Amino acid sequence: MEQLKCPLTQIKMKKIFIVIVTLSLVFSCKKDPEQNLDYCELHPDECIDIRTVKDWFYFDYGSWWVYEEENSGMRDSVYVIETWSDTGSHKFLTRVHSTYDGYDYPYFTQTALETYKNHQVKKENRSTSVYRAKTKPGDFVAESICFLFYPEVGLWTYNYGGPESGYNNKLEIINYYDSYILDSNNFSDVVRINEEHNVVEESQSTKHHYAYGIGLIKKELLELCLILSYR
């Protein structure tokens, strides 16, 4: 009988040991829920969906605008002749055609910087850029950045300004207007961008105003004192 006591005792000890180890593993796996959240999940008010950059530039095929120069009354009709959008990302292409100069002006995005879950990015950072080109068959003029996203006032970059200025073209977001009145039209969420040497405009100093859901509403070529406004 003495020989049976030891094995029974050993078996009980093993069972107790297994229970203790299991309980310690359960408690060790409990973590702070916030440790699994990224920056934008912890600070949703400081972030935005990067795909909303399209709302300033992406429009359906056939969309059109009419601009008028304030001094001469010269008009330019511009319409979308090609359009593409990747709904799962920030990438898009909107190609507009100017009836005044006969050139096409494609707007598009390329790469994106740090992106969090559900396409969220920090508002305070430049997560992507919108490019603008000027071209027609047999004559590619130029291509450069025209817009920074998210458009926080003060955000800027050095940009290509043409052969004479090289990359010494400072593009900067000067204002963001919740409401902007232009010729009795009231636009919402308007971004004003200054450029020292706009290569698409023959390296002139320019000011562009882009409205959310509308696109370009005003362009000022400072050296020629030319102001084109949306009509």
Q: Where are the domains of the chain?
A: 2-30, 41-230
User: Which of 20-24, 35-39, 81-85 is predicted least confidently?
Assistant: 20-24
Query: In which band, very low, low, confident or very high, does the pLDDT at 53 lie, cut at 50, 70 and 90?
Result: very high
Cβ neighbors of 109 (< 8 A, separation 6 or more) are: 53, 90, 91, 92, 128, 129, 130, 131
Hunting for tokens 């004559």 — which residue is that?
A: 139
* CA angle in degrees (0–180, nearest 5) for 166-149-156: 40
User: Computed from CA positions of residues 226, 227, 228, 231, in that sequence, does the dihedral angle turn out positive or negative?
Assistant: negative
Half-sphere exposure of 91 (CA within 13 A, CB side): 7
* Residues 113-172 pLDDT 10s: 999 999 999 999 999 999 999 999 999 999 999 999 999 999 999 999 998 889 999 999
Question: Six-digit token pair at 55?
Answer: 């709302």
Question: Can you list the positions of beta strands (E) in the chain?
Answer: 47-49, 64-69, 75-85, 92-98, 104-109, 120-122, 128-136, 139-149, 156-159, 169-182, 185-198, 204-211, 215-221, 226-230
Is the entire prediction scored with pTM above 0.85? no
User: Which of 10-24, 61-75, 171-185 is predicted least confidently?
Assistant: 10-24
Q: What length does the chain have?
A: 231
Hunting for tokens 């029974």 — which residue is that?
A: 8
Residue 23 has pLDDT above 80, yes or no: no
- Between strands 215-221 and 226-230, the pairing is antiparallel
Residue 68: the pLDDT is 92
Residue 7 has pLDDT above 60, yes or no: no
Q: What is the mean pLDDT of the chain?
A: 87
Q: Are 79 and 216 contacting, i.e. CB atoms less than 8 angstroms apart?
A: no
Question: Six-digit token pair at 81?
Answer: 């002749």
CA distance 100 to 67: 10
